[in-house]
Amino acid sequence: MALNVNREVSDDFYRYKMPRLIAKVEGKGNGIKTVIVNMPEVAKALGRPPIYPTKFFGAELGAQIQFDQKNERFIVNGAHDCDKLQTILDAFIRKYVLCSKCENPETDLIVRTRGKQGGELLAKCKACGCLAPVPDNGRTAQFILKNPPDETGLALAAGASSGKGGRGAAGTRRRRGGANGGTTADRSPEGGNSGEESNHHPDDGDADDLNGAGVGGDDFDSDGEWEGGDDENDREQQRAAADELPASIQRLIVTDEMLELTPQDRADRFHKFLTERLSSGQLSPGELVLEAERLDIRDKAVLVVVEVLLDSPATLVSDIAKTYRPVFLAFVGGDKNRRAQKYLMGAVETLIARFRDSLLDAKRIPNLLNAFYSADLLSEETLIEWAAKGPSKRYSGDRKLSRSIHELSQPFINWLQTADEESSSEDDEEDEENNKEAGHLKEKINGNGSTKSSRQVRPSNGGRVEEEQPDSDVDIDNI
């Protein structure tokens, strides 16, 4: 949906339009971030390099930013909704896009240098000819002064100078997200941090310094990683260094690239890992669980396990009960992991859908469910809860097929419920029987058959009667 660039104008025929921002939240915990999916398109409609509004988002939200113009990824750390970002974008437009006189978004940004005194940021309107200073001197304005736009206004000028005499005869430094769209890093001694915030200099006085962006000195970026971590050469060096580590350590490494993976990408990686282990005959349940945890799909991994390991309808029961039971147990953990068992039930529906010609039968489906149940992979509670929930096309892809699966599995579910009720009745009868036996024993003890006194009387020594104390000492010589 297209919006008016100046959203204060409600005219539907307003000719300056821009796309609505699309934001997607990725990751979780400390790694959560918001990817602005269509930032290049929005920036093009505004006539500005996409890094400018991204930088403005970071300044307004007090958040670190990341950008890779080559791959058109613009990221703001933290979780932020589209409406909030759209409102902040309106503020950016008022300050850096609209003409201060005619309010048309027809301006070009001009950086006028003043030698050692720094520079001045001006906006020249192509509609009315107004040339006026930009009414802002914040972090974004300082960034634009050091990273002016090129002639098109849609990218940063090549060799943009920060005003500090860096490397090279012209006193320029390599910058992230330059006019060539790459992700080169500032490596000059004066360059300061060259991480996600793109050449943030320690003397800039930005809020980044207050947020601890420069922790670690000049060789670290804003997240405490070695500078240039997003540069392709540095990525290759990191991969090469990781490859030299033992395999047991490599499995524990969670890279930045992995944090950016979608759930489907994670499942695909686990599928590849499991397939390779199966082909090589090195199917270790513990190793598979570690890889699933590293990819953050611990419970959902069972969907992939079923897809890869159960590939033959003829041997399903033996594969479940014997061949691959240790692998399944490592993920579903008997009755302990109900969440993984629910995903396993979904995997069973997917399995039946895949081999529907062989498995969609009144005998095969109950036998299949019984195989999982007998192997302690699915509990009674999980199976009964699945049956009560009813058909769904989430896993089978077809609600009608899911309904058929539920109908054919109903005899087995009924047997489970009946067995559970009979077991409860037997337990009640056993408890009642035990209570009766305990009552009879108590009556016997307190009745005629009991000994009323601990003192025993017996004849001895010529008919004389002696009283024997049960606790009296025994003379061994008289035995």
- Cβ partners under 8 Å of residue 253, min gap 6: 242, 245, 294
Confidence of residue 361 (pLDDT cuts 50, 70, 90): confident
Rounded to the nearest 10°, the torsion over CA 41, 83, 66, 35 is -70
Q: Which tokens go with 36?
A: 């602005």
Q: In what order do the strands lie in the sheet with 33-36?
A: 23-26, 33-36, 73-77, 65-68
Window from 15-29, 149-163, 377-391, 399-413 with minimum mean pLDDT: 149-163
> Residue 403 has what pLDDT?
93
Residue 197 pLDDT grade (very low, low, confident, very high; cuts 50, 70, 90): very low
**Cα(123)–Cα(114) distance, integer angstroms:** 17
What count of other Cβ atoms lies within 10 Å of the Cβ of residue 57?
A: 26
The per-residue pLDDT for 88 is: 95
CATH fold of 299-419: 1.25.40
Q: Reply yes or no on whether the pLDDT at 54 is more than 60.
A: yes
Tens digits of residue pLDDT in 55-82: 999 999 999 999 887 788 999 999 999 9
DSSP-based three-state secondary structure for 108: strand
- Find, among 314, 271, 300, the residue nearest to 395 by Cα: 300
Confidence of residue 201 (pLDDT cuts 50, 70, 90): very low
| C-alpha atoms less than 13 angstroms from C-alpha of 179 in its C-beta half-sphere | 14
Average pLDDT, integer, range 93-117:
87
Across the range 4-20, mean pLDDT stands at 91
The third-level CATH classification (topology) of the domain covering 2-163+172-210 is Defensin A-like (3.30.30)
The domain locations on the chain are 2-163+172-210, 299-419
Q: pLDDT tens, 433-472?
A: 666 666 655 565 555 544 444 444 444 444 444 444 544 4
Q: Quick one: which H or E segment has residue 346?
A: helix 338-354
Q: In angstroms, what CA-CA distances link 227 with 202, 218, 439?
A: 14, 8, 81
What does the pLDDT look like over 321-332, one tens digit per residue?
899 999 999 998
Most confident of 72-86, 131-145, 168-182: 72-86
Instruction: Please determine, for residue 175, whether its predicted confidence score (pLDDT) is greater than 90.
Output: no
In terms of phi and psi (left: phi > 0; alpha: psi -120 to 50; beta: otherwise), the region of 209 is alpha
Residue 38: predicted pLDDT: 92
What are the residues facing 466 on neighbouring strands?
458
Distance CA 401, CA 403 (A): 5
Over the stretch 405-426, which tens digit does the pLDDT of each residue have?
Answer: 999 999 999 998 887 666 555 5
Is the pLDDT at 386 greater than 90? The verdict is yes
